[in-house]
Structure 1
Amino acid sequence: MKKVRMRVNGRVQGVGFRFLTKMAADRLGICGIVRNEHDGAVYIEANGPEAALTDFINLIKASPSPSGRVDQCEISYDDSIKERTSFNVTY
């Protein structure tokens, strides 16, 4: 089980990015959270099998929202991230 923290910048708020991130996570069996940040970024914590997590990261980098755009995606693997059993949009 791998755990990753992501901070995504670009056109990622107001375009369904969080909802479509959750749909992608559910489809791939990824657990975690996604939330908007006050500075316009989106924050994601995710855990899951390494291959599925790699697919998830690639989907996020390409923007799960057709009207979104990812300009920058900071990724860090961190085993101290809380392991979750579902994927949720938080506020």
Structure 2
Amino acid sequence: MDEAAIEVKQSHRERCKQLDAYRDYIVTLLRQFPNLSAAKVLYKLQQKDPGLKVSERSARRYVRRLKETVIQCQKRYYEPVVESVPGV
């Protein structure tokens, strides 16, 4: 193997996830219910496929990554409150 092939192989080190088979279903759930927690998503997946063996931590990581990339929520805008008097 030459250096270029090794570099390409090392740059693509992401493994196939168990939940990739359910990605479309999870994305539709998150689009319908954007505030749905990862625990509830895992519960719905286990209802759909009782033989699914995924840890809760893996589901949380997967759902977090999907929420960051696929589901784009509205950004919050913070403004200082000038009208309130301290101590009153």
Higher helix share: 2
Identify the structure with bigger relative contact order (alpha carbons < 8 Å, sequence gap 6+). 1
TM tier relative to shorter chain:
0.3 to 0.5
> Which has the larger Rg?
2
Q: TM-score, normalised by structure 2?
A: 0.34
Higher strand share: 1
